[in-house]
Amino acid sequence: MKTIETETTTTLETQAATATETAEPKTSTKAKVARQARRVAPTKPKSSKTAKAPKKGPKVSQKSPKAGKKAGSARKGAKESAGPREGSKTAQVVAMLQRKNGATLAEIMKAMGWQKHTVRGFMAGAMKKAGYAVESFKPEGGERTYRINS
C-alpha cells in the first residue's frame, strides 16, 4: 500500500506543480474602461442669501389726484364713456337692441355671424357686465326677441 500512497501524492504534487508552472496570466479581451457616470441633472447650489423684506416706496399723501374720480375708473388715462366703442360688435348689437321692437335671435345671428349659443351667452354675459338690462321675450308662435329698455 505504500506504493499507492506515494503514487497518489506524487501524482497530486506533479499535477499541482504543472498547474502553477503552466499558468500564465490570461489576457483579457475586454478593454478596461472607466464606468460611465449616471446621467442626472446637476444639483443647484443652495442660496446663501436670506429673505429680506421688500423695499417700501415713497409715501403717498391722503389727498391724491384720483380721490375725486369714480372708483370704477382706476386705470390710468381711462376715459369715462357712456357705452361701447363705436363700430365694435357690442356697439352693433346694442344699436339693434335699442330699436323699438328690439332684435330677434335670428337677426342678431345673421348680422354678427354668430351661432345661437353665442348670442345667448353674449346677452347673459357681456351685456350684463356692460351694465345693460336686456329684456328677453318670446311671443306666441314667434321668435325669441331681445330688447334694451331705454
Position 76 scores a pLDDT of: 52
C-alpha cell at 61: 399723501
Q: What is the pTM of this model?
A: 0.45
Q: How confident is the model at residue 73 (pLDDT cuts 50, 70, 90)?
A: very low
Q: Give the pLDDT confidence of 106-132 residue by residue, as tens digits.
A: 999 999 999 999 999 999 998 888 888
Residue type, 49: K
Per the DSSP assignment, residues forming a β-bridge with 147 are: 135
C-alpha cell at 66: 384720483
Find out whether 70 and 80 touch, Cβ atoms under 8 Å. Answer: yes
Where in the sequence is the domain holding 136, given as residue range(s)? 89-148
Task: Confirm whether 140 is domain-assigned.
Answer: yes
Task: Confirm whether 32 is domain-assigned.
Answer: no
Task: Confirm whether 22 is domain-assigned.
Answer: no
Closest CA to 94 of 137, 146, 136: 146
Total domains present in the chain? 1
Closest CA to 99 of 137, 138, 147: 147
Task: Confirm whether 23 is domain-assigned.
Answer: no
Task: Confirm whether 118 is domain-assigned.
Answer: yes
